[in-house]
Amino acid sequence: MQQESKKLFEIFNQQFKELNAIYHRAASQHDISDNEFWVWYALFALEGEPSQQSICEMWSIPKQTVNSVVSGMIKRGHVYLETIPGTRNKKVIRLTESGQKFGENVILKVYDAEQQAIGKISPQQLQLCTDLLAKYITLLDEEI
């Protein structure tokens, strides 16, 4: 790898670590794990009614991890599971009143901050960023 490309790649990796640290800090402020943060995020920031399976697929979190996170959320009275009619065992995660309040406190602040930051980037720049990141992910996955 050429010296310039190597340096850019180091910066690229550092930026990913910085981004992960921001989300980790947000989770830590509410005494939840990073994985629980992403389950809360899926429940609040995304459209539709996510199932445990869809969260696993969307966030690349192992099924057992999501199951453990959701079990903890159930024990704390924040969510309950409801079987989706017409499916064998697929369940949607539903918020309780306390879950709604807790999730709003955790996620909506982060979501609003994300929207403010994204609003300061042009649609063209954002498209370029997502296109390049998707290409990098595909290529890295092929190499590994």
Domain that residue 38 falls in: 34-143
pLDDT band of 90, cuts 50, 70, 90: confident
Specify if 25 maps to a domain.
no
Specify if 23 maps to a domain.
no
Phi and psi at residue 76, in whole multiples of 5°?
-85, 0
User: Mapped to the 3 state alphabet, what secondary structure does 101-138 carry?
Assistant: HHHHHHHHHHHHHHHHHHCCCCHHHHHHHHHHHHHHHH
- Per-residue pLDDT tens digits for 106-120: 898 899 999 999 999
Q: How many domains does the chain have?
A: 1
Tokens 């996170």 locate to 69
Specify if 22 maps to a domain.
no
88: domain CATH number?
Answer: 1.10.10.10
Instruction: Provide the mean pLDDT of the chain.
Output: 92
State the first-to-last Cα distance of the chain, in angstroms, to the nearest integer.
17
Specify if 41 maps to a domain.
yes
Do the beta carbons of residue 118 and residue 126 sit within 8 Å? yes
pTM for the full predicted model? 0.86
